[in-house]
Amino acid sequence: MTSNVNNDIFLGAKTRSALVRDLIGITVIVVAAVIGYLLFPDNLALLTRILAIAFLVLALDLVTGYCGVATLGHAALFGSGAYAAGILSAHYGINDPLLMTLAGLVGGAVSGLLCGAIMLRAHGLPQLVLSIALIHLFHELANKMSSWTGGSDGLAGIAPDPVFGMFEFDLYGQTGYVFGVVLLLIVFVLLRILVRSPFGMLSRGVRQDTLRIRAMGASPSSVLIRMYVISGAVAGLGGALNAISTQVVALDTLSFTQSAEALVMLVLGGTGSLFGALTGTLIFMLFEDYVSAANPFHWLTMVGALLIAVVLFAPKGLYGTAANYVSRRREAKP
Query: Hey, what long-range contacts does 3-6 have (CB within 8 A, 24 or more apart)?
Result: none
State residue 23's pLDDT score. 82
Least reliable range by pLDDT among 29-38, 63-72, 225-234, 318-327? 318-327
Q: Answer whether residue 1 shows pLDDT above 60.
A: no
Which percentage of the chain shows pLDDT scores above 90? Answer: 57
List the Cα angle 303/305/308 in 5-degree steps.
Answer: 110
Q: Answer whether residue 49 shows pLDDT above 50.
A: yes
State residue 183's pLDDT score. 95
State residue 60's pLDDT score. 96
Check if the beta carbon of residue 112 is closer than 8 Å to that of residue 232.
Answer: yes
Q: Answer whether residue 263 shows pLDDT above 70.
A: yes
Q: Is the pTM of this model over 0.75?
A: yes
State residue 54's pLDDT score. 96
Higher-scoring residue by pLDDT: 126, 1: 126
State residue 311's pLDDT score. 84
State residue 179's pLDDT score. 94
232-253: pLDDT as tens digits = 999 999 999 999 999 999 999 9
Check if the beta carbon of residue 283 is closer than 8 Å to that of residue 321.
Answer: no
Among 22, 285, 48, 64, which residue's Cα sits nearest to residue 183?
48
State residue 7's pLDDT score. 45
Average pLDDT taken over every residue of the chain: 88
Can you tell me the mean pLDDT for 78-82? Answer: 96
